Structure 1
Amino acid sequence: MAVDFSRREVSARERMDEPDCDLSTLRRTYARFELLNALVSGWRRVYRTAVRPALIPGRTMTLLDIGCGGGDVARHLAAWARRDGLRLQVTAIDADARAITYAAAQPTSADVTFRAALSGDLVREGQRFDFVTSNHLLHHLTGEEFTALLRDCEQLCRGRVLHSDLTRSALAYRLFTPLSLAFPGTFIREDGPLSIRRSFTRAELAALAPPGWQVQPLFPFRHLLTYQSVHA
């Protein structure tokens, strides 16, 4: 059956988001995300170009990672800063307690903290961070959730917001679908291609984003939705 890429697929839900999905398969999926993200997410490049230049030697700076999943991106961001002789305290949150249980059980340094929470919870607590990030989160959200997330981020961040996600395209779908077969026993084979179908195009993100937000292309088949706070 032909896949229509002219609009987002919003009716189908990813299997890993289902509360009754197989827990063993979900854990294997979290475990394999580290390799998958290393292959396609480009966070090392984003760290070098958008995070590291803003880190101040001798000062502990803070980063909130929203929708952290298995926690690999949060752990890597903190580790890269340590290797550069810089201090980055990372708080990683996820609405799914199963993700936090998995992430917190992995070897983790003292500069990374995991917590089951929503961005709105931290807004109500009056928390603020130098950076706010997410990886592969935006395509999971409904329209109302997307709007609420960006509003929360504007309140939570005194520096820069960096939301990295997939770009919907037929070519990305055709290339990733066979790659997903390299992750047997996980939800990646089922959810990965669906993630691309659920994702935004650059034009769609630009149209949805409030004033002050920008969309930057990332290679391969990705984009970065960014916001620079005007309030320190």
Structure 2
Amino acid sequence: MILPAPFSARELHLAERMDDPLCDLSELNRTYAQFGAVNGLVAGWGRVYRRVLLPRLSRSRPNTLLDIGCGGGDVPRALARWAARDGFTLRITAIDADARAIAFAGTQSAVSGLEFRQAMSGDLVREGRRFDLVTSNHLLHHLTAPELGALLRDCEGLCADAGLVVHSDIRRSPLAYLGFRAGVAPLFRGSFIGEDGLLSIRRSFTAAELRELAPPGWQVRTLHPFRNLLVYGATARG
């Protein structure tokens, strides 16, 4: 296999097809529909829930969670199911700047306590909202360094006292690229998953790059095999 040129730096000039406002809507909706399966293979949210989020949930009161950049909504839906299974009340607000994502999420079956909304993190900051938990999945690689800084400032404002923020994303490496191209991309046809997934890896951060950009109070953790967790306010084991 021939690899694209080198993985020594983020390739921010690469544009993912699903971010194109003129992309084919049927392919985009198939992409949203397939996110649950691909994230189940590569994103590791089951481990993040058990190891990082679950220890922060309270049984004595309702818990609140904000999911930023929710896409088709598979991650907040999974978190809602797991919390309900474990006997917790979890009220989730899932936001995305793209109206197409929120429209797709609205076509899926309703989940108790889960609300979808077209918004950006700054909108909720201006509303004075606070949450026990703030999460995102595959959001960071879409951002430039200044945009990342703005997001993290928003998240600090959105995080309640003793709250927790967890941003989960791909960790850039040639092995991640080869593994996705050979083992994951061929499983998903008729959508942007394969093409955009490879571009996402090339746009993503290494752990060292995130540590250099992370403000005080933020921690960078790695999750096997190719994940970064950027965490704020955490004392739970990782």
Fold agreement, TM-score > 0.5: yes
Code of the aligned partner of 2:213? L
> Distance in 2 between the 1:63 and 1:184 partners?
32
> Please, what TM-score do these two structures have when normalized by structure 1?
0.97
> Distance in 1 between the 2:168 and 2:55 partners?
18
Matched, 1:211 2:213: no
> Distance in 2 between the 1:175 and 1:48 partners?
25
Tell me which residue corresponds to 2:26: 24
> Distance in 1 between the 2:172 and 2:66 partners?
26
Code of the aligned partner of 2:152? L
Matched, 1:188 2:193: yes
**What is the total number of aligned residue pairs between the two structures?**
230
132, 135, 146: which one aligns with 2:134: 132
SS at match of 2:187: coil
SS at match of 1:70: coil
> Distance in 2 between the 1:72 and 1:110 partners?
14
Matches for 1:3-152 after TM superposition, within 5 Å: 3-152=5-154
> Distance in 2 between the 1:190 and 1:56 partners?
40
| Residues 81-108 of structure 1: per-residue CA shift (max 9 Å, x gap) | 1000111100000000100000121012
Code of the aligned partner of 1:212? G
Matched, 1:162 2:166: yes
Tell me which residue corresponds to 2:207: 202
Cα distance, 1:151–1:229 mapped onto 2, change above 3 Å: farther
> Please, what TM-score do these two structures have when normalized by structure 2?
0.94
| Residues 131-155 of structure 1: per-residue CA shift (max 9 Å, x gap) | 0000000001122211110000000
Post-superposition shift, 1:197? 0.3
| Residues 166-200 of structure 1: per-residue CA shift (max 9 Å, x gap) | 00000110110122121110101210111000000
